[in-house]
């Protein structure tokens, strides 16, 4: 696995921050948002791009991908594919070009070069070439994208399209997302407070996560001991609203049940739930309503949004990386930012406990009613 987030570069740095329930949000400083006040974000202020990346999203992606592939030995004769997940693609560079174009029309002939890596598929192609991969797919389903990339990687390996598949999710902070979420009044000026009665919105972040998905035989051939199994994947689209979740989380219920069914386990077998937990008033209430409908006895659950920020397409896979760590270490992390139970939810997230687990569920939900759920299980 690989990870890059506001807590630092590498799986270990992010894992430790998640286990501590650290508050890693800070006032936006990497660019000027144009908002009345600098929002609290999970930003990466010391990004070191060793890949000469065309834009910030690709730079983030390459660092996480490199870590995920670092343990792989001789991969000659092994076809490793790529599933790349993003929502903003190369828009950070596009925004700078547009700003320049508004003040100086003479830069217009540079458009082809400046916008060449705007599209998500161009970023996927860059990663494919940089790491010598065998082919790629690109996904963009809002904030569920990163977890869908893991599920799609699972399918591609099962179907024999690739011997192994690298799932990567990445998004950089941009004017589009900051101003967009602000216009929807979905940003909490005090920082996100998942599941808290006083929650007033999310906090945006940036980062990248990566997972190398392979069959057991291929993992053995590559000399990489499996960390966990992607036991089940569920996908649904409830199409309730452009930005609001279904009040009862019907699509979320379908995604969780599909993931559990594919994993061949009962809800009672799940040791913990790594929620989407954005801290928006509607999302948290809807997600727990869905969880209650699926789980007769709700297992411990947690959100890491106050620690990492909401990293959009990266969130599903980045948070899945730390969910796998939690599964292996027998730790249900605390939820930073939570203090008061919301009577409308009726449940409180974990305060941070140790628990023997065999299975953990990860949820990711996005605008437009896009829902993803995955079950990660310890290798037998």
Q: Which positions are annotated as active-site residues? A: 143, 276, 310
Distance CA 98, CA 108 (A): 9
Distance CA 207, CA 95 (A): 19
CA-wise closest residue to 150 among 231, 265, 30, 96: 231
Burial degree of 91 (CB within 10 A; 0-12, 13-18, 19+): buried
Distance CA 298, CA 293 (A): 9
Distance CA 371, CA 233 (A): 11
CA-wise closest residue to 169 among 136, 140, 146: 146
Contact 255, 176 (CB under 8 A): no
Helix (H) or strand (E) segment spanning residue 354? strand 353-354
Cα separations (Å) of 146 from 11, 168, 281, 282, 340?
16, 7, 23, 21, 30
């Amino acid at each position: 696995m690989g990870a890059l987030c506001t807590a630092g570069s590498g799986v270990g740095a992010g894992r430790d921050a998640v286990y501590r329930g650290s508050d890693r949000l800070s006032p936006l400083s990497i660019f000027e948002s144009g908002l009345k006040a600098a929002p609290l974000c999970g930003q990466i202020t010391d990004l070191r791009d060793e890949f000469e990346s065309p834009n910030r999203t690709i730079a983030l992606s390459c660092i996480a991908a490199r870590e995920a592939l670092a343990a792989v030995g001789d991969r000659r004769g092994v076809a490793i594919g790529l599933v790349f997940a993003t929502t903003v693609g190369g828009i950070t560079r596009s925004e700078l070009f547009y700003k320049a174009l508004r003040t100086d029309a003479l830069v217009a002939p540079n458009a082809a070069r400046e916008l060449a890596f705007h599209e998500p598929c161009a970023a996927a192609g860059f990663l494919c070439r940089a790491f010598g991969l065998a082919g790629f797919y690109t996904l963009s389903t809002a904030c569920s994208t990163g977890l869908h990339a893991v599920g799609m990687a699972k399918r591609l390996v099962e179907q024999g399209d690739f011997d192994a598949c690298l799932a990567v999710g990445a998004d950089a902070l941009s004017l589009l997302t900051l101003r967009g979420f602000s216009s929807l009044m979905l940003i909490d000026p005090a920082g996100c407070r998942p599941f808290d009665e006083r929650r007033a919105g999310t906090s945006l972040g940036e980062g990248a996560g990566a997972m190398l998905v392979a069959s057991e035989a291929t993992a053995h051939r590559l000399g990489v001991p499996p960390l966990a199994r992607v036991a089940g994947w569920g996908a649904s689209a409830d199409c309730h609203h452009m930005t609001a979740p279904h009040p009862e989380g019907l699509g979320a219920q379908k995604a969780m049940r599909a993931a559990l069914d594919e994993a061949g386990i009962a809800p009672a077998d799940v040791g913990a739930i790594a929620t989407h937990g954005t801290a928006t008033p509607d999302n948290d209430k809807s997600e727990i309503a869905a969880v209650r409908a699926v789980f007769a006895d709700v297992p411990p659950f947690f959100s890491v949004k106050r620690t990492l920020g909401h990293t959009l397409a990266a969130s599903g896979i980045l948070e899945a990386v730390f969910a796998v760590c939690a599964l292996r270490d027998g730790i249900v992390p605390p939820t930073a930012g939570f203090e008061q139970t919301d009577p409308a939810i009726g449940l409180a997230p974990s305060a941070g406990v140790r628990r023997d687990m065999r299975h953990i569920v990860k949820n990711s939900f996005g605008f437009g009613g896009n829902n993803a759920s995955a079950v990660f299980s310890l290798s037998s």
